[in-house]
């Protein structure tokens, strides 16, 4: 049976949240904890690979802000599966936007993550048990970046590293581009993915090609998936005007996806105007929903 993905343009308010991922493992044992103000955090956005005797990432970004770091040893008889699930559920509750994800051997060497990237030896565990996630969180007060790493050691103890960066330069902050795997992971685990590669200026929607390509790549890796692009519009005007604009948003995104290599027979445009839950107003967002 074919699966369908619905791509929806929504209008939602800014989300007010406390520091994200701050109480994921409240019942665990805190091994290390620190707060670093005015810090340049080297954010890994790819797996670690050894090149010329040096561990490097495929892609990284420097984020300036206050860095909250916590290393936790989970309660006895816990598992790395539970550790990751709790992390992901917490991120979902706080509307985290998944940017990068890797699991097991696909992440590279746990030794490199523990001793080179995080510089915490307790995180050195079994390669096949590790998971790494990066999320973005938006709030009225600014942006946060959440980093999570979970692993099981040979002695069966499970550790979790959670780094949260409160971004300082919010005015100039540019949203990061999610990988194709991050998109598919969000669709599989949450049922939706928020696409944010756009600007709305003077009623016109401008799309960023960097955010388009990962969606096309995700579609190529799942040939049975189809996309329904549904536009929602809560701007001023009659409902008929909002409906017309919402269809225009949807078709504009479809055109961009096709131009980037997506198959037109896997994309359909829909517009529902202002039909959305109460409170969804103000800002435009584009949501990819798995059906």
Q: Model-level pTM?
A: 0.85
Q: Where in the chain is the domain with CATH 3.30.1330.60?
A: 3-14+177-183+190-290
Residue 282 confidence (pLDDT): 47
pLDDT at 10: 46
Residue 91 is predicted with a pLDDT of 94
Of the candidate CATH numbers 2.40.50.100, 3.40.50.2300, 3.30.1330.60, 1.20.1340.10, the domain formed by 3-14+177-183+190-290 belongs to 3.30.1330.60
- Please tell me the predicted confidence (pLDDT) of residue 55: 87
Which residue has tokens 């949240």?
A: 17
d(CA 193, CA 231): 15
The residues with which 216 forms a beta bridge, in sequence order, are none
pLDDT for 58: 84
HSE of 173 in the Cβ direction (CA atoms, 13 Å)? 21
How many other C-beta atoms can be found within 10 angstroms of the C-beta atom of residue 236?
A: 8
* Ramachandran angles phi, psi of 193, nearest 5°: -140, 130
Which residues of the chain form CATH 3.40.1000? 29-167
The per-residue pLDDT for 169 is: 73
Each residue's pLDDT, cut to its tens digit, for the chain (291 residues) gives 555 555 544 444 444 457 899 989 999 999 999 999 999 999 999 998 888 888 888 899 999 999 999 999 999 989 999 999 999 999 998 889 999 999 999 999 999 999 999 999 999 999 999 999 999 998 767 899 999 999 999 999 999 999 999 998 766 778 899 999 999 999 888 888 877 888 888 778 899 999 999 999 999 999 998 888 777 787 778 889 888 888 888 889 989 999 999 999 988 887 877 776 534 444 667 777 777
Q: Which CATH number fits domain 29-167: 3.40.1000, 3.30.70, 3.30.60, 3.30.1050?
A: 3.40.1000
20-to-13, 162, 270 alpha-carbon distances in Å? 18, 10, 34
Classify 206 in phi/psi space as left (phi over 0), alpha (psi -120 to 50) or beta.
beta
């Amino acid at each position: 049976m074919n699966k369908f993905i619905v791509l929806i343009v929504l209008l939602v308010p800014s989300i007010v949240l406390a520091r994200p991922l701050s109480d994921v493992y409240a019942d665990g044992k805190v091994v290390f904890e620190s707060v670093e103000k005015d810090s340049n955090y080297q954010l890994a956005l790819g797996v670690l690979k050894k090149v010329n005797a040096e561990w490097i990432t495929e892609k990284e970004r420097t984020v300036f802000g206050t860095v909250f770091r916590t290393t936790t040893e989970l309660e006895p008889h816990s598992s790395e599966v539970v550790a990751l699930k709790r992390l992901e559920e917490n991120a979902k509750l706080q509307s985290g936007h998944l940017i990068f994800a890797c699991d097991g051997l696909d992440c590279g060497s746990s030794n490199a993550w523990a001793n080179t990237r995080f510089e915490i030896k307790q995180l050195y565990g079994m390669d096949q048990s590790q998971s790494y996630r990066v999320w973005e969180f938006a709030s009225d007060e600014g942006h946060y970046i959440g980093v999570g790493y979970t692993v099981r050691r040979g002695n069966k103890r499970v550790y979790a590293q959670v780094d949260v960066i409160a971004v300082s330069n919010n005015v100039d902050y540019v949203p990061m581009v999610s990988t194709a795997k991050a998109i598919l992971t969000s669709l599989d685990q949450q049922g939706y993915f928020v696409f944010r590669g756009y600007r709305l200026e003077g009623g016109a929607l401008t799309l960023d090609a960097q955010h388009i390509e990962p969606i096309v790549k995700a579609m190529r890796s799942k040939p049975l998936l189809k996309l329904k692009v549904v536009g929602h519009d809560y701007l001023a005007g009659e409902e008929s005007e909002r409906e017309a604009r919402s269809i225009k948003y949807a078709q504009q995104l479809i055109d961009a996806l096709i131009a980037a290599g997506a198959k037109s027979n896997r994309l359909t445009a829909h517009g529902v105007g202002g039909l959305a839950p109460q409170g969804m107003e103000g800002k435009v967002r584009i949501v990819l929903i798995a059906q």
